[in-house]
Structure 1
Amino acid sequence: MADRNDGPRAISEPIPFSSEYAVKDPEAFAMNMARMFEQIGKAASAWIEPREKGQVVETGPVSMVEVVETLSKVGEYWMTDPARAMEAQTRLFAGYMSVWNNSIRRMAGDTANAEHVSPAKGDKRFSDEDWNQNFFFDFLKQVYLMTSRWADELVEEANGLDEHTRHKAAFYMRQVSNALSPTNFIMTNPEIYRETIQSNGQNLVKGMKMFAEDMAAGKGNLRIRQADYDAFAIGKDIALTEGKVIAQNEICQILQYAPKTETVFKRPILITPPWINKYYILDLKPEKSFIEWLVEQGHTVFLISWVNPDERHAEKTWQDYIEEGIVFGLDTAEKASGAKEFNVIGYCVGGTLLTAGLSYLKARGDTRPQTATLLTTQVDFTHAGDLLVFVDEDQLKTLEATMDAKGYLDGSQMAQAFNMLRSADLIWPYFVNNYLKGKDPMPFDLLFWNADATRMPKANHLFYLRNCYLENNLSGGDMVIGKTPIDLSKVDIPIYNLATKEDHIAPAKSVYRGSKCFGGDVTFVVSGSGHIAGVVNHPSRGKYQYWTGADPEDGGSYEDWLQKAEEHKGSWWPHWAEWIAEKNGEEMVKARKPGGGKIKPIEDAPGSYVKVKT
């Protein structure tokens, strides 16, 4: 056989199953297999022990009962009619025969007439050359791809399902397909198989050791590590922008950042980050920090750092988060800066809260916010994507019962839900890399942040899920906070509304639709990449692109808007800087120190609230 380093081979040059797949040292291999099973035993103990002690409640974003019931409805459609069942089976077997016949043709050297089932664009799971060159692994790959596509078609073609059930079924089927990929198993992944043979199974020993550690770290639930968490410390490696905590209450701390310019815009900025995860996604390493960049542009920046809630915060509502968060932040910033007008920024669910807060403030005559910047923020949830899968009446009742026990939802459950939205990227590659290859994950600040989950207080979270995802009350004018009706059409300040093109959490189509809810001028912009990378994109990196176009009211559908939009290379940050400078006007004032001499700082940024672990 030719050496593997000769470069990639064409499909017409198949590699036979070779000696590189044969065990070289049976004694060492057997010893490592024994060590591997020892680690598996430790993982099993870590799973069993907290359950025996009653320390684990079997909950998650989705229950197995829910999955089975939903997929059973699909199966019921096909199995209740013999003709339909036969048609589905025939289609599957025909696909298998096609793959088999094409494989036989390839073995005979007839590659011109052999069709090939290929992965979808962007599917990186089958990048190893043996997935194409080795008959066995190529056959496995094609059978898997053909079967998973057939399963997707069963869901799509099942008549009589309501749209929510179909959406759930498609999502669950995708989870099953991703889990059953041959890339996730030792014997059916050529790269893992070779590594196991060449290292005599040492990769599995190390991998199962990490598996046991992650099971123990999750206290009976597997918490897959996505990054080297020991490589970062908040306030030492990330969240480094200089500043002070100048106020705090039960819900949040208010940070003010130290100036880097001699003069600053007269209007300060107040940032409302999401309370799902922590604020420092906007203050990662200095070369990625949006907050540091804002300060360098001459802005006085205040920020809300939410508490990581526990049972004491169970009954904290959206009104509390507005009053004790946004209003508290504005009051503090006004006292520290002397300013009467502010630019406000909200990110993700923090932007959703801020949007409701703008209407709430307007109704009571508080006009301090003069512009709003919304980053990947949904206010209309009609097209909210796969997160809608997790929200219906039955699931909300189950979730409420779960939260009754502690008064909050554990952060790991939200992390699991977000990871499931992109399980092929955020779950299974790490499962393979960590536990099968036995390789440590890379030190990656973004994924360190992603794993630094926060809890969800009961009243707040249930209000959010019902009023936004389930009933879509915010956009319809049916949300009431306290006794105040929320009417977004009364929010008439200029708004910069940023969506990201590949967002799975706040889909761009959903953000675009929400732009039409406001009563004032909305500048809608779409950034390349996804929910995080599309927002946290420092101009110095020269990555991605962004699109600008017509006013959403005049742009038709999102697809029409995007087709006519103008593409610009690089980060959206400079475009926003021009927009906010125009809204601010030319008046500058002397740079403001944290507290402004009127408030005594409590501690250095990033503060203590952000360091509380789940």
Structure 2
Amino acid sequence: MTTKTTDHDATPEASLSRMAENLKKVEALTERLTQVMSHRQTHQQALDGPNQELFAKASQSYLSEAMQNPAKLMEHQMGYWTKTITHFMEAQQAMSKGDLSAPEDTTSTDDRRFSNPLWKSHPYFNFVKKQYLINAEALKTAVDNVTDMDPREKKRLGYFSQQIIDLMSPTNFLATNPDALERAVETEGESLIKGLENLISDLEANNGELVVKLADETAFELGRNIATTPGKVVYRNKMFELIQYTPSTEKVYKTPLVVFPPWINKFYILDLKAQNSLVKWIVDQGYTLFMVSWVNPDPTYRDVGMEDYVDDGYLAAIREVKAITGEKQVNAIGYCIAGTTLSLTLSLLKQRGDTSIKSATFFTALTDFSDQGEFQPFLTDDFIDGIEAETVDKGVLPSIIMARTFSFLRSNDLVYGPAVKSYMMGETPPAFDLLYWNGDGANLPAKMAMQYLRGLCQGNKLADGGFDLMGHHLELGDIDVPLCAIACETDHIAPWKDCYRGVQMMGSKSKTFIMTQSGHIAGIVNPPSKNKYGHYTNDDLSLDHEAWLKGAKFTEGSWWPRWEAWLKKKSGAQVEARFPGDNDWKILADAPGEYVAKKAKL
């Protein structure tokens, strides 16, 4: 429920009285807050930030610079002092005029945090905002001018310094947020009570861990208004359920298509609603489509590793799809971490002489981790050591840890902005299907998480020498099936240039690379009907990424039709449509199945 202005007597005395009554409700909420925090499930402190060694190195470097070039340090310090004192004097002069107006504000309004007109017109908020921006600039300058520091360490210092800047924004505090203060006055304190209720509710939902709820969970129901493409669960084991979708055409292409989504999140990102469902669109193009719906692991999956995902996941799904359709080959799609694992599977099959996969499609899949992009701050030993300790303790890497890590890559949009609206404004999160999916995460088994983080992310073993798994030495050069890779221009999880570099290392003679506009999710979930994001293509994959993009052709609209034209050539002739349950194959459940509905538990 969103807050509304009350319809009571609007006299100042009455409003203050009702506000006092509302604030008394805080006492009733205190018991709930105490209860949840007293039973808070703790996690490793190393996951909350870098160890002190990083800041010690930064301090040492800064002091060394000061000793070698004191004039430069004084220049920076005097610049900060000058701006701060000038700012104070301007505010004083404006106040002395008696009209309590703010000095002229030429600050850019591009920052959505400061969209309220009071940030420009009110002397108090104007002063607070300007001083915050001066402080932020000074901190950035100090970090930028650290020279005697390893580039990776400096990049990490810059990331965590930015986190401090974002955290200290005046919009994050009630006393310096005009939107929240105005709402509190309008609702006579009711917004603050509802905000506190929202805060406690989020803490209760996550065992005392604070993860801001981004979407109204009551607005969605799997199988009713999301994940609604008709189909049946036709196979289930400890790792996944296999969904076969009901055909919507009389004829289908002979070679079936099986999708391996990432097991960090749920598969229905590809089937949110009919208007943007890649699942429905593929079915409507005449393909027999199968979807892997991964189990949401609990601590009993502690010893499940990458080999289990390959053997009891990929190979089992391929085996079942071939048995159901009677075909000898399948086309396969791997999204994100599932694309990385698809590359491992392809190398394994090549070494075994197994030709079950006819073609492979990779959605935003990293296979070369030599440049760790925006995740580099989280892939150092202190953080990974903390994750390892967490998995030893709990048997899984909890989804809440991953959700928090991903969110802080865009902290203003996914942490502080939503927190202000929910906790200070008392608003109910929006009914937004994408954000609902974003909050419906999954745990990772302890063994698998560390294999992935240590061996692939940190060690980059697949691209640099090979990755040992299941008695085989797996290499990208083994991959020889026709492949198509789709990467996203502004992807901060799997940067397109890194996806491209991995594809270059694969041994296939037939490679297609498409770079779509937008990011990790919106770039992939990009239906043709929206005509929203275009894409780039260039057949010459011998070029480095900059040259490839410079010579690429841009096409307006979705990449889906281009990819489908490529897939069609790998899918054989058309045959009569195949329905779940044909040939008396046992049906286990309706789509979207049971595994997808299970919430992450510890």
Q: How does 1:368-387 map to 2 (within 5 A)?
A: 368-387=356-375
Q: How does 1:18-37 map to 2 (within 5 A)?
A: 25-36=15-26
d(CA) in 1 for partners of 2:476, 2:168: 45
On the 8 A contact 1:118/1:145 being kept in 2, the answer is: no
In the superposition, relative to structure 1, how do residues 23 and 435 fare at CA in structure 2: closer, same or farther (>3 Å)?
A: farther
d(CA) in 1 for partners of 2:153, 2:437: 33
d(CA) in 1 for partners of 2:292, 2:34: 41
Deviations 1:439-475 (A, max 9, x none): 1011111111111111110111100001221011111
Q: Tell me what 2:164 maps to.
A: 176
| 1:532 equivalent in alignment to 2:516 | no
d(CA) in 1 for partners of 2:30, 2:199: 8
d(CA) in 2 for partners of 1:132, 1:527: 39
On the 8 A contact 2:295/2:596 being kept in 1, the answer is: yes
d(CA) in 2 for partners of 1:302, 1:331: 12
Q: Tell me what 1:42 maps to.
A: 32
d(CA) in 2 for partners of 1:273, 1:61: 30
Amino acid paired to 1:57: T
Moved more, 326-335 or 302-311: 302-311
Q: Tell me what 2:599 maps to.
A: 613
Among 26, 43, 47, which residue is 1:58 paired with?
43
In the superposition, relative to structure 1, how do residues 205 and 234 fare at CA in structure 2: closer, same or farther (>3 Å)?
A: same
d(CA) in 2 for partners of 1:400, 1:95: 46
In the superposition, relative to structure 1, how do residues 429 and 331 fare at CA in structure 2: closer, same or farther (>3 Å)?
A: same
d(CA) in 2 for partners of 1:259, 1:355: 29
* Aligned-partner SS, 1:496: strand
* Aligned-partner SS, 2:569: helix
| 1:474 equivalent in alignment to 2:474 | no
d(CA) in 2 for partners of 1:564, 1:182: 45
d(CA) in 2 for partners of 1:40, 1:508: 48
Amino acid paired to 1:332: E
d(CA) in 1 for partners of 2:228, 2:519: 24
Q: Tell me what 1:7 maps to.
A: none
In the superposition, relative to structure 1, how do residues 267 and 399 fare at CA in structure 2: closer, same or farther (>3 Å)?
A: same
On the 8 A contact 2:359/2:481 being kept in 1, the answer is: yes
On the 8 A contact 1:335/1:598 being kept in 2, the answer is: no
* Aligned-partner SS, 1:42: helix
* Aligned-partner SS, 2:370: coil
Amino acid paired to 1:397: D
Structure 2 gap ranges (5+): 1-9
On the 8 A contact 2:91/2:123 being kept in 1, the answer is: yes
Q: By how many angstroms is 1:78 displaced? A: 2.3
Among 540, 555, 560, which residue is 2:547 paired with?
560
Deviations 1:543-566 (A, max 9, x none): 222222243323x2x233333322
Deviations 1:454-512 (A, max 9, x none): 11101111000012210111112321112211111121222211111121111122212
In the superposition, relative to structure 1, how do residues 134 and 508 fare at CA in structure 2: closer, same or farther (>3 Å)?
A: farther
| 1:359 equivalent in alignment to 2:332 | no
On the 8 A contact 1:102/1:116 being kept in 2, the answer is: no
Deviations 1:129-162 (A, max 9, x none): 2223333323322222232232123222212222
Q: Tell me what 2:126 maps to.
A: 138
Q: How does 1:261-340 map to 2 (within 5 A)?
A: 261-340=249-328
Q: How does 1:394-413 map to 2 (within 5 A)?
A: 394-413=382-401
In the superposition, relative to structure 1, how do residues 85 and 335 fare at CA in structure 2: closer, same or farther (>3 Å)?
A: same
Share of identical aligned residues, percent?
34
On the 8 A contact 2:211/2:404 being kept in 1, the answer is: no
Q: By how many angstroms is 1:68 displaced? A: 4.2
Amino acid paired to 1:417: T
d(CA) in 2 for partners of 1:563, 1:546: 13
Q: With structure 1 as the length reference, what TM-score do the two structures score?
A: 0.89
Moved more, 133-142 or 258-267: 133-142
d(CA) in 2 for partners of 1:551, 1:537: 25
Structure 1 gap ranges (5+): 1-19
Deviations 1:184-226 (A, max 9, x none): 1122122222112222221111101111111111111123110
Amino acid paired to 2:32: K
Moved more, 188-197 or 413-422: 188-197
